[in-house]
Structure 1
Amino acid sequence: MSRRSPNILVFSPSQTEVDGYVESIRNQGFISVKGATTFAEAEKYLPSTEIILGWKFPTELLSEPIAASVRWFQSMGAGVNDLILDKSIPETITLTRIVNQFGTHISEYVFSFLLYIVKDGQRMQESQLNSMWDPFISDTLKGKTIGVAGLGSIGAEIVRKARAFDMSVSGLSFSGNQASLVDQHYYPDQWLEFVKDLDYLVLTLPLTNSTHHIVNKDILLGMKPNACLVNVGRGALIDEGDLITVLQSGHLQAAVLDVFEKEPLPKDHIFWSMSNVFVTSHLSGPSTVDDVSTFFIENVKRYLNEVPLHGLVDRQIGY
């Protein structure tokens, strides 16, 4: 039985990435696939394109007549706040994001740092470097309280792993649909109550108008003095100026930051040199060609069968 093969355009600044996606999609029988890495190539292939699988796509082209045939834009990532705010993307274009693929990677990232901190990995490293025998007794995650702000697929996996370490788990979410996952659930008007007893606060929230700088000086000072903050959501969830002030005052044990308001993080940013800040390069939840291709191909099949797409973005809600 034959099936329609829509015209698909894959865009990424990485040629290797584009080649991988194009090959994967074609191997599934969708042969009308073009790849582009530059503005000029995107402009060339947009006419008659129906579906875009993209990352850092030159969206200004989508308001031009050459993009009149585009019906659906699938982001290669989970965060789409930039696409939602982009007025050059017509409302007629359906937006989807990757969902249910990052929990394993991000939860492992979170707990690699929590274990390093609670077991004082830095002291162990320094002892080895100084050839010093130092059989100290480290702390444990057991009995500690972790708070997860955002209980989607990523947050849910962090909760699951926290249970394996015998931690107490609190959660904050907008809908409360996943409240049963945690010991204590809070809503967005309960931030101070949510954070006051936490040993670890992990942010997995999407960035929307209501979550921009949601973690500010008041929230940070409302946490226990020796608590730790982990951000694997979006950089602008945190007021970075407030975080710097609070950390410099000695409040909070550490901040683990994988995302920032400006990326790449400028070389002269103070975060790089702060001893109580761990900086990583937005790497906790990688979008791999195999995983994203599998997600996208399944969505193409759903699109052709006219059933709801996975990861459908609600522009009003913001994700």
Structure 2
Amino acid sequence: MKTRQPKIVVYSPNQAKDYENMIRKQGYTNVFSASSPAEVKEIIADTEILLCWKFPLHLLSETDSIKWIQSLGAGVDDLVSSPHVSKQSQLTRIVDQFGVPIAEYVFSYFLHFNQRITAIQSAQKEKKWAPFEPELLSGKTIGIAGLGSIGGEMIRKARAFDMKIHGLSVSGKQAQFVDKHFHPDEWREFVKELDYLVLVLPFTENTYHVVNRDILLAMKPSAYLVNVGRGQVVAEDDLIDVLKSGHLRGAVLDVFEHEPLSEESPLWEMPNVYVTPHLSGISTPSRVGHFFLENLKRYINEEELAGIVDRNSGY
């Protein structure tokens, strides 16, 4: 039994009960869960710790007791920008959990393109013996915008495939791990040599629509764009126009400006666009739950938490 039992509320549209049960198994008994605004409104009073995803932020006005908010994901732009989140509440996000699944997602598409898997399957269905020379990742250039833990895992995978690696980041802390490093005022230079542009950027004032028509047209026509960061980073209408013009070989999009992606979006039916429903780095109770429980121990022991959000930078 823990010496202190802070009130913990878990909010998630789909897995709230799973997280509640996991926390209770560790001896924390003052834990409640909700999957809808109506449910959480009934239990939010006197909450000290909020573990959440897609929380109805206006309901935070129902209590002033929350000292710590732990996001169930890496993205916290909604929490940082909300006027309902008290400046006194500590914000943390999940870090070092999504690198492997997101990197595997990205490289599965690279291999799919280079090995021409779709063409092979079509030939098999038609019983055609149609040899070809596959392209190799070796020697190609990947540009990774965002060199945090996810970008770091992407670098590791790219090294294994003998790729050239260019990186873009604000801090430059990981510059020594890439072949060429660029700062945010060097986007056009950054993208011009790339075969693959991979976006793992957070959504902030400075990244909103940073990948626009000008940047897309600065890329090689043979290049691919992959977005596994935030949808708002890409000017979606510009991307659609550029793809329709034949500039860019294709795009892999796991995130969008508005989710779920509207049925009216042209992206669904574009032959060189691959749409997935924000699944490259899914938060799972096993991985994310372990992170939260370790952070909860730190909180109880009044130690510094992991994944603290810098409200000024937005992540």
- Give the TM-score taking structure 1 as reference length: 0.96
Residues 63, 90 of structure 1: 8 Å contact kept: no
Using the alignment, how far apart are the partners of 1:272 and 1:198 within structure 2?
25
Q: Mapping of 1:1-319 within 5 angstroms? A: 3-14=3-14, 17-64=15-62, 67-319=63-315
SS at the partner of 1:83?
helix
Deviates most, 258-267 or 302-311: 302-311
SS at the partner of 2:100?
helix
Q: Structure 1 residue 41: deviation in Å? A: 2.1
Using the alignment, how far apart are the partners of 2:92 and 2:11 within structure 1?
15
CA separation of 1:2 and 1:261: change in aligned 2, threshold 3 A: closer
CA separation of 1:33 and 1:215: change in aligned 2, threshold 3 A: same
Using the alignment, how far apart are the partners of 1:5 and 1:299 within structure 2?
15
Using the alignment, how far apart are the partners of 1:228 and 1:40 within structure 2?
43
Using the alignment, how far apart are the partners of 2:193 and 2:69 within structure 1?
42
Residues 10, 52 of structure 1: 8 Å contact kept: yes
Question: How many pairs align?
Answer: 315
Q: Which amino acid aligns with 1:185?
A: H
Q: Which amino acid aligns with 1:188?
A: P
Q: Unpaired runs of 5+ in structure 2?
A: none
Q: Which amino acid aligns with 1:96?
A: T
Q: Which amino acid aligns with 2:107?
A: F
Supply the RMSD in Å over aligned alpha carbons: 1.1
Q: Unpaired runs of 5+ in structure 1?
A: none
Q: Structure 1 residue 2: deviation in Å? A: 5.2
Using the alignment, how far apart are the partners of 1:52 and 1:279 within structure 2?
32
- Give the TM-score taking structure 2 as reference length: 0.98
* Deviation string, structure 1 residues 260-279 (Cα, Å, up to 9, x no partner): 00111111210011011111
Q: Runs in 1 of length 4+ with deviation above 6 angstroms?
A: none
Using the alignment, how far apart are the partners of 2:149 and 2:119 within structure 1?
34
Q: Which amino acid aligns with 1:54?
A: C
Q: Structure 1 residue 38: deviation in Å? A: 2.1
SS at the partner of 2:198?
strand
Using the alignment, how far apart are the partners of 1:36 and 1:104 within structure 2?
29
Using the alignment, how far apart are the partners of 1:266 and 1:68 within structure 2?
36
Using the alignment, how far apart are the partners of 1:192 and 1:40 within structure 2?
47
Using the alignment, how far apart are the partners of 1:208 and 1:2 within structure 2?
38
SS at the partner of 2:204?
coil
SS at the partner of 1:294?
helix
Q: Which amino acid aligns with 1:9?
A: V
Give me the identity figure in percent: 55
Q: Structure 1 residue 60: deviation in Å? A: 0.9
Deviates most, 30-39 or 184-193: 30-39
Using the alignment, how far apart are the partners of 2:36 and 2:201 within structure 1?
31
Residues 150, 171 of structure 1: 8 Å contact kept: yes
Q: Structure 1 residue 304: deviation in Å? A: 1.5
Using the alignment, how far apart are the partners of 1:301 and 1:185 within structure 2?
37
